[in-house]
Amino acid sequence: MSLRNITYLLICVILQMSCSVNKFVPEGEYLLNDVKIISTTNHENAVKAKGYVRQMPNAKLFNLVKLPLYTYSLSGHDTAQWRNKVLRRLGEAPVIFDSAMSEKSRQNIRDMLVNDGYFHATVDFECLKNDKRKRADAVYYLHERERYYIASIDYDMKDEVVGAIVLADTASSLLRPGMPFSVDNMEFERRRIAEMLRNRGYYRFQKEYITYVADTAHHSNKVRLTMKLGKFIKERDAEPEPHRIYRVGRIYYVSDAGLRLDDALLAKCDTIEVGDYSILSNDDLVVRPSVLMASTHVKPGSLYSQYDVDRTYNSFANLSALKYTTVRMMEVPGSDVLDCYIMFERNKRMSVDFELDGTNTAGDFGVAASVTIADKNLFKGSEQLSLRVFTAYEAVSGLSGYSGGDYLEYGAETSLRLMGGLPAVVIPVRNRTYSSSTMLSLKFNSQKRPEFDRHILSGTWSYSWSSKLESMNTLELLDVNYIYVPWISDTFKKDYLDSISNRNSILKYNYENLLITKLGYTYTYNSSLKKSNRFNPYAYSLRMHLECSGNLLYGMNSLFGGPMNDEGQYVVSDLAYAQYVKGDFDFTVRYRFNERNTILVHTGVGVAYPYGNSRILPFEKRYFAGGANGMRGWSVRTLGPGRYRNSGRNIDLINQTGDVKLDINLELRSRLFWKLHSAVFVDAGNIWTLRKYDEQPGGEFDVSTFCREIAFSYGVGLRLELDMFVFRLDGAMKAVNPAFEGDDKYPLLRPDFGRDFALHFAIGYPF
């Protein structure tokens, strides 16, 4: 069937579904087809106004087709039938136009404009009905007229002490003379002041004690704003009094109490007194008292601070031995003292996780399995010890001249996570962090292929800390990898390593014993985790990573004249070590149009440069392109570098690596029904080498030509979002393939499904 016939068939199906919707539209009623908002002054107001419309039409897949509605329309009127129940649950019921809701929406939009300084704005409404199709379009016309601006800001402080604190902090104010009048900005300023005061001991202060009075001058668009700060009112009819500063009294830890807190419960608990801290428990202590106190940022005798309470919540959330935590501040009667009660429930100490994965690489099937055993409270300090054992098997075909035809991998990894870590002299921000931890890990990996045997032993010591909920810092103080190749097939040596005609320096380097010692730093940021941004349709995430290897060893060898091998490399115990610097940058922006549609733009850039003791990057540190998380029009490790074209040999996976990587992805995600989501995407990118290698012709990065070597692909995907996992299936076609010339370079114009299509199954989102 031709593409033209398929398109025609799809149009007919959609039209048929559209007609079947009318059976659910009552006589004399109309299906809400579309909502349009037209502004005569500012298009941004029209976009913002959509959030104030009380009735929106049925959701569209990719903002194009109302698939949930059409799914619902396939059901019948008999709701007792199983088929009709399923279709209605998966779909979305028709939205019937409601004139009363439209009037409320019109009023809401006008209130929004007035709150934004358009005091004389009006909003008109028109309903465009199609009696034949039983459809109605709701159209809102915004007439903003003149906008008002803040001319001056005055202050009326009933509480002089608190007022002085607020006036001393006006440099941080969100309101300025000359800026547009906005009720939202005034609300944000109220919250900011209340938070600032609550962090300075004013436990009872709320934003409701701050009000604003706006005075508009005659025949002017200027507003004289007055901020009023009232005194504390204990009860409804009580006399106002100055706001009081509270200090923290005693800290109580209550174990396994749930959310209850009463004298009878506390009387049954055994109590351990440690200075100004009391630990109450009916059973053995979950964690050591020192760990509890170190995780508590609310300190006895200090001024109350909401910031310290939030830090305490986060620190206790990082204790793997605890399930959940509640922090309550209780006033001591007749005083300005707050006792702090930290209540928590213990978590299950041991856990066992199993993983089973199936693989299909170019028709070669395989299976991978792993089991992880974890102790979440090893020494009663919430230390987490885990042991992971894994194995993988894959049938390898197409290798002639080799004994055996299978790939076997197995190994084990153990790690120990300790709360806290380095002294403040190493990490100066330690005393101002939400949480910190130290990770020690040791891993062994063995790979057996028909071509070679390869063993990797690695050990890591890293330290992580967070000063904000939305950010995380990780310092890899020591990461040592020992790569040992005990056996290489004679056929492999002859064909690729020793033969003069086929000698490959990149291959040879990556099949020699090697030592990698690196130091690294990683910073991550996610704006959606910030409290003030949780309901913002805009969000972004950032990841920056920098690592270097071999510098200390190279400096010592150069200074003291260390031994060298035949390749001119310094060695440690006859073992060459790698020397390089590597940096990665990932940035993702997300915009949520509505509850069903979200667009994401992702950019990833990576650069690695070998120098000193290395002319080539180790294989583990080189970049590759293609696969489920990058250029989805290509299989993994089949794109690049640059214009390089795969020779078709299995061993070419080494050559299709590089020192520079660029990824640009545009993806529109849309919810279908139930837990099924869809996506359309466009990917662009490639990899390059920084040096010219004979084995990778066309792979070197050149500023004047790299733009012509960027590959493009496009595709669609399905995602099944379960509670714990996201299963993802993406199908993509190549659009521009830099490995070819002429017409073959642009498969977008002349696609070959067998050559240009790639299908990927993965767990989790690519970015």
Local confidence band at 426 (pLDDT 50, 70, 90 cut-offs): very low
Q: What does the pLDDT average to over 374-392?
A: 93
Q: How far is C-alpha 399 from the geometric centre of its chain's CA atoms?
A: 41
Q: Residues with Cβ < 8 Å from 172, sequence gap 6 or more?
A: 192, 196
Q: What angle do CA 669, 671, 672 make, to 5 degrees?
A: 125
Residue count of the chain:
767
User: Is 149-229's fold the same as 622-767's?
Assistant: no
Q: Quick check: 349 and 321 in contact, CB under 8 A?
A: yes
Q: CA-CA distance, 638 to 552, in Å (whole number)?
A: 35
| Amino acid letter, 754 | G
pLDDT tens, 227-247?
Answer: 999 999 988 888 999 999 999
Question: Is the predicted pLDDT of residue 183 greater than 90, yes or no?
Answer: yes
Q: Say how many Å lie between the first and final Cα of the chain, rounded.
A: 36
Question: Is the predicted pLDDT of residue 274 greater than 70, yes or no?
Answer: yes
Q: CA-CA distance, 639 to 340, in Å (whole number)?
A: 59
Mean pLDDT for all residues in the chain: 86
pLDDT tens, 634-692?
Answer: 988 889 899 998 766 555 667 889 999 999 999 999 887 778 888 999 999 999 999 88
Is the CATH number 3.10.20.310 carried by domain 247-346? Answer: yes
Q: Please, what is the angle between helix 183-198 and helix 160-168, to 10°?
A: 110
Distances, alpha carbon 139 to alpha carbons 29, 35, 144, 556, 693, in Å: 17, 6, 16, 75, 63
Give the helix, strand, coil percentages of the chain, each rounded to 5. 20, 40, 35
Q: Quick check: 303 and 314 in contact, CB under 8 A?
A: no
Residue 623 has a pLDDT of 94
Sign of CA dihedral 432, 436, 438, 441: negative
Helix or strand holding residue 487 (H, E) = strand 471-488
Question: Is the predicted pLDDT of residue 464 greater than 80, yes or no?
Answer: yes
CATH architecture of 3-143: Roll (3.10)
What secondary structure letter does DSSP report for 234? Answer: S
Distances, alpha carbon 314 to alpha carbons 151, 291, 422, in Å: 42, 14, 19
Buried b / exposed e along 65-88 (16+ C-beta atoms within 10 A):
ebbbbbbbbebeeeeeeeebeebb
Residue 675 has a pLDDT of 82
Q: CA-CA distance, 595 to 578, in Å (whole number)?
A: 49
Beta bridge partners of 129: 136
Residue 601 has a pLDDT of 97
CATH fold of the domain at 622-767 = Porin (2.40.160)
**Nearest Cα to 302, choosing from 424, 232, 199?**
199
Local confidence band at 18 (pLDDT 50, 70, 90 cut-offs): low
Q: Strand, coil or helix: what is 524?
A: strand
**Nearest Cα to 474, choosing from 436, 442, 440, 419?**
436
Q: What does the pLDDT average to over 55-60?
A: 86
Largest interatomic CA distance in the chain: 97
**Nearest Cα to 270, choosing from 287, 283, 261, 258?**
283
pLDDT tens, 692-748?
Answer: 888 889 999 999 889 999 999 999 999 988 877 788 899 999 999 999 988 889 998
pLDDT tens, 540-567?
Answer: 999 999 999 999 999 999 888 889 988 8
Residue 573 has a pLDDT of 86
Question: Is the predicted pLDDT of residue 428 greater than 50, yes or no?
Answer: no
Q: CA-CA distance, 15 to 675, in Å (whole number)?
A: 26
Give the residue carrying structure tokens 């440099």.
171
Q: Quick check: 760 and 733 in contact, CB under 8 A?
A: no
Sign of CA dihedral 699, 704, 706, 712: negative
Cα-Cα-Cα-Cα dihedral of 571, 574, 580, 586, to 10°?
Answer: -150
CATH fold of the domain at 149-229 = Ubiquitin-like (UB roll) (3.10.20)
Residue 11 has a pLDDT of 53
Domain boundaries, the chain: 3-143, 149-229, 247-346, 622-767
Question: Is the predicted pLDDT of residue 504 greater than 80, yes or no?
Answer: no
Question: Is the predicted pLDDT of residue 441 greater than 90, yes or no?
Answer: yes
Residue 140 has a pLDDT of 97
Pick the range with the lowest mean pLDDT from 142-146, 577-581, 762-766: 762-766
* Other CB atoms within 10 Å distance of the CB of residue 502: 13
Beta bridge partners of 127: 138
Q: What does the pLDDT average to over 167-189?
A: 94
